[in-house]
Structure 1
C-alpha cells in the first residue's frame, strides 16, 4: 500500500502521486486511481495509501457554465445554494479571486477532463466535448465544440496551438486528433490518429507530448509521431522487434522512452525532422519510468518489478550527467493515473533549472512541529543535495523556476488557505508571493485532481477530474491575482 500524501493538508482530494523513497515499488489500482511508488535505498519501510475510489454522484448535462468573479452559482447548476463574493470578505494581504468557474454538468460521474493551457491574459480548458477560453477578468473569450469528448492532451503548446485527441468510434477509442488555435478558438485540422501497432484500434490510455512541430503519442499497443501543423505522421525509427515505446515527454524537447523484453531500454531525443539525435542506453534490467524534465533531462528508472533504478540527470549529448543522491528519503511528486505506463512525462510537483532539480518529500511526522514536508534541491552536475526548505502542516510542491527563484505551492491545511511562495537559489525560508483567501480555502481543498500554474503574477488551479459528488461545490478553475 502506498502513501496518499494527504498528511496534514486537510485536502479531501485523492492524490495521484509517485513516491520515491525507501519502499519496494508497486502499482496499486483501486477504484480508478493508480499510485506508483518508486524506491531508493535498502530500507524496507512500507508507505500506505488512501482509497482512490471515485465518489458517487448524479448525471450532469450543462458543459460550460460562465465563470464568476463573485463566486455566485452559474446558470445551469441545480445546487440549491448561493455563494457569497469571497472578495467582499478578503483580509489584508490576501490575494484577489479573479474568478472561479463552477464544475460543469458532465455526462457521467467521475469524468477525467484533461487539457489546460495558460496563455497571455487568458487560460484555455477542455471539458468533455467543449474547449473554452477564459480571460483573466473572468469573461469568456471563446468556446469551441468537438464531435466528442477530449480524452488526451499535451501540456505544451506551439505558437499558440495544441493538438488534442478526442473520442472516436469503438470501445476505449481515443482515435481522433484535432489542432486547436488557442487564440482564435478554431479547429485548424481534424484527422484520424495513426493506426501503427494498435491492438484492435482501441487507443487505450493515450498519452501525448508536444514539442515544436512534433507530437509524440503512445497508447496501449501502439505509438506514433505526427506534425503539429498538418497532422501528418512522421517516419520515425521503429524500436527493434520485442521492444515497445513506453511514452513521450515534450516541452523544450521531445524525448521517447522504450523498453524490450530482453531487459534492455533506451531514452532517445527526437529531432524536429523525426530523426534520433541521441540515445541513452539504460543499464540492463531497468527502463525509464518517468521523465521529469526534458531540458535539462531528468528521469526516474524502475525494473520490471517496479523497484527503483534511481533518478538520473542526462546531459545534452545523451550521456549520464549524475545520479541524484536520494538515499532513503521518500519523495512525492504528483504523477497522475498511468495504468499502462503511456504518460511518461505527466508528473507535476517537480521543477528544474539548468543546474538544479527540485523534488518534494512526502509528509513526515516531526516530533516538534507535527506533519511537515520539504522541497529538496539537487545539483545536477554532482547529484548531491544542495539544500532543503521545510514547512509545517502542509504539502510543499515545486511549480516552476521564475528567473533564478523557485516558485512553489503550499497546499491548504485544515485551518489555513494555501500559499504561493518563492525560494531563493540558495534555499532558506519560503517567502510568500500570494496568500490565497481564507474564504476560498474549502473550494481550494476540494479538487479531486488538479493542475496548478503560476504565471505573470496569477495563480490558477484547474480540475483534471470532475467527480459529480452530490451536495458539493466543485470548481473547474480558480484564478487568483494580487
Structure 2
C-alpha cells in the first residue's frame, strides 16, 4: 500500500500519513542510570497522532488499601467497582542488549555459591493459599477490653504497617500518550491469586505433549558445524512431521528426524539473514536472505530479499524485494521477518513492509514522512503488532501499534514511557511487550519491565518490573521479535528466576524456579515450578495451558524436558537425556543464551544461531544435536 489507513475510531488523527523510515540511526548511547520514580505525572511530548497542548487525561482514583491475603479483616464499607487494570492492592515498586552474548562456561558445571533464592522472601511465610489465623479481640493488659478510641489508634498503626509491607502498586492507561506510566511490582506477593490460582478456573492442562512409554532418551543424531571463513548467522529452525529444518551456508537444509541425513537442500543466492518464528498451517515459512554471496575481506552483504519456503518440499515459493523509505530507489534493508495470518511482515531501519503470503505481492512498503517515523519490526502469530520509532534523534519515542494484518490499519496504539529506545513483542494476543526503560536492566537482558496491554484499546493493564538480579528472561533489545525464556498463556506471564543456591547448600548446588505474573494485576501468583537442586529451568514454549521447559543438567547428569501445568505448576518428565560423559559433553556444548532449543513429539533439538571459523583442536563444534525418546 502507498498510504496507511487512518487510525482507529478511538484514536486521534494520524498526522504522519504512512509507514516510513528515517535515515538509519547512529548507535545509541551506553547504559544510563536508573530513573527515579516521580511523585506525579510529568508533561511529556505528544504521542503519535496526538495534538499539542491536549489537556491531561484524568487519572482514575486509587482503590482503597486492603490487608494481605490471609490476614484477619475488619468489616468495611461498600466500595465502588475498581477501574479496569487496577489491582486490589497497591504495592511499592521493587528496586540481556547486543546481538552477540558474552561467552558462558558450559552450563551445569559448578559455579560460586550465590545468594538465597531471588524474588522470594527469606523470612518464614504463611503456607500457599494464605492460611488465616483466628481473629483475636483486642484486649488491654489484665484481660480488659480496649477502649474504642485505642482500638482505632491500633487499627491505624496496623494499616500503615500493611501499606509499608505490601507496597504501592500503581497502574494507568497507556493509549493517551503519557510517558511515566504505571509502576508495577516484580516481587512476590504472598497469597496473591492471579487468573484462578491453584489451578482453578480451568488454568493449565490441555497440552498435546504426553510422556512416552519410555522417557529415557538416546542421542538421535549430530550435525557438525559447516566450515565458514567468518562469523555466520544461522538463526532459525523448524520441525515438520518428517524433518528438522535449519539454515546452512547460502542454503536451507532439512534433516531426517531419525537419522539426521539431509532430505533436501534449498540453495539461495546468499546467506539467510532473518527467519520467522511462525509457520503457516501448510508448513510455509517466510525468510530473509542476501542477494549475493559473501566475499572477503568483509564477508558482508545487505539483507534485502524476502522469500517464502515450503518446508514440506524444500521449494522457494516466491521471493521479492522492495524499495522505499530511507533506502529511496535502492532495495530496502530488513533485519527481521514474521508471519500473521496471510501477511508476511518485515522491518528494519529502512522501515517496514508487508506482503501477501500466497504470492508475495506488497501490501505496504516503507515510506518517508515528516515525523521521522518508521516500523522497526513486527511481532506476529495470533496478531500483528508493529514497534514504531518516531521523532528526531535527540527526542525519539516508541509506539506499539496493534495492526489489522491485511491492511496495516492501526487498531490501537500505546506510547512507551520516556527512556525506552526499543521494545520487544513477547506475545501479540494477549499483547505483552518488554523494554529496558532508561537502560536500567544493566545485565544485557534487554528487559527492565514487561507491559501488559489491551490490544483493542491500547490501554496499559499492568506494568511488571523484572529486576535483572531476579529474573532470567532475555530479549535482543534492537529486535522486535527476539525474546526467549518468557512465555504468555492462561492470562499469565511465565519467567524463570536467575540461578541461586539450592537447598543443600553444597558447592555447585545451583537451581531456579519458574514463576508467573497475572497479566491483569501485574502481581505474582502463589504457584511456582521448582527446577530441583542442581538443575536450571528454561521455558521453551506453551503447549495448550502447559509450559514445555528444559531442565539444564548438572555436571554429572543429562538434561530433561518437562511439561509444567500452567495452573498448578506441577512438572511431568517427558524426556531424560543420557548421563554418559560423551553425550553430556555434546549436550552442554551449547550456550543456553546463544542456542535454539526445541521439543516436539518426543524429540529434543539443540542448534546454534551463530557459527564461526573452527578453532584447531575443538571437537565439539556441533550445528545440531538431537535426542529422542527410547523405544
TM-score, reference length from structure 2: 0.58
**Bigger mean CA offset, 193-202 vs 435-444:** 193-202
Which of 266, 281, 286 matches 1:144? 266
1:191 and 1:396 mapped to 2: Cα distance?
41
Larger Rg: 2
- Gap change, CA 1:366 and 1:204, over 3 Å in 2: farther
1:423 and 1:447 mapped to 2: Cα distance?
23
User: What are the within-5 Å matches in structure 2 for residues 178-327 of structure 1?
Assistant: 178-198=307-327, 206-235=335-364, 241-261=371-391, 262-287=395-420, 289-303=423-437, 305=439, 310-317=449-456, 318-324=458-464, 326=466
- Gap change, CA 1:463 and 1:254, over 3 Å in 2: same
1:9 touches 1:394 (CA, 8 Å); kept in 2? no
2:468 and 2:229 mapped to 1: Cα distance?
42
Match of 2:223 in 1: 101
1:329 and 1:427 mapped to 2: Cα distance?
26
User: Within the alignment, does 1:436 sit opposite 2:607 as a pair?
Assistant: no
1:134 and 1:266 mapped to 2: Cα distance?
40
Match of 1:479 in 2: 626
- Gap change, CA 1:441 and 1:40, over 3 Å in 2: farther
Q: Which has the higher contact order (CA 8 A, sep 6+)?
A: 2
Q: CA deviation at 1:462?
A: 2.0
Q: CA deviation at 1:358?
A: 0.8
Match of 1:445 in 2: 588
1:112 and 1:182 mapped to 2: Cα distance?
20
Q: Secondary structure at the match of 1:441?
A: helix
Match of 1:360 in 2: 496
Match of 1:374 in 2: 513
Q: CA deviation at 1:244?
A: 2.9
- Gap change, CA 1:325 and 1:114, over 3 Å in 2: closer
CA deviation vs aligned residue, 1:86-108 (integer Å, no higher than 9, x gap): xxxxxx95212222222222x32
1:114 touches 1:127 (CA, 8 Å); kept in 2? no
1:373 and 1:196 mapped to 2: Cα distance?
46
2:396 and 2:271 mapped to 1: Cα distance?
37
Match of 2:194 in 1: none
Match of 2:9 in 1: none
Q: CA deviation at 1:113?
A: 0.5
**Bigger mean CA offset, 282-291 vs 133-142:** 282-291
Match of 1:9 in 2: 107
Match of 1:333 in 2: 473
- Gap change, CA 1:447 and 1:194, over 3 Å in 2: farther
1:236 and 1:113 mapped to 2: Cα distance?
27
CA deviation vs aligned residue, 1:226-284 (integer Å, no higher than 9, x gap): 22222222227967613332321112221101132345432112223223242232254
Q: CA deviation at 1:204?
A: 6.3
Q: Secondary structure at the match of 2:587?
A: helix
- Gap change, CA 1:42 and 1:230, over 3 Å in 2: closer
RMSD (Å) for aligned C-alpha atoms:
3.3
2:230 and 2:481 mapped to 1: Cα distance?
27
Q: CA deviation at 1:109?
A: 3.6
2:568 and 2:466 mapped to 1: Cα distance?
18
2:465 and 2:578 mapped to 1: Cα distance?
38
User: Within the alignment, does 1:411 sit opposite 2:552 as a pair?
Assistant: yes
1:256 and 1:181 mapped to 2: Cα distance?
26
1:5 touches 1:362 (CA, 8 Å); kept in 2? no
1:365 touches 1:372 (CA, 8 Å); kept in 2? yes
Q: CA deviation at 1:452?
A: 1.0
Which of 480, 483, 498 matches 1:344? 480
1:115 touches 1:155 (CA, 8 Å); kept in 2? yes
2:344 touches 2:355 (CA, 8 Å); kept in 1? yes
Q: CA deviation at 1:413?
A: 2.6
- Give aligned pairs, total: 405
Q: CA deviation at 1:201?
A: 5.4
Q: CA deviation at 1:183?
A: 0.8
- Gap change, CA 1:332 and 1:409, over 3 Å in 2: same
CA deviation vs aligned residue, 1:280-335 (integer Å, no higher than 9, x gap): 32254154522111222111133454566621212241332322364675222243
- Gap change, CA 1:390 and 1:124, over 3 Å in 2: same
2:558 touches 2:577 (CA, 8 Å); kept in 1? yes
1:98 touches 1:479 (CA, 8 Å); kept in 2? yes
Higher strand share: 1
- Gap change, CA 1:436 and 1:366, over 3 Å in 2: closer
1:418 touches 1:436 (CA, 8 Å); kept in 2? yes
1:40 touches 1:327 (CA, 8 Å); kept in 2? no
1:309 and 1:335 mapped to 2: Cα distance?
10
Q: Secondary structure at the match of 1:324?
A: strand
In structure 2, stretches of 5+ residues that fail to align are 1-30, 32-95, 111-117, 120-182, 188-213, 295-299, 442-446
1:268 touches 1:280 (CA, 8 Å); kept in 2? yes
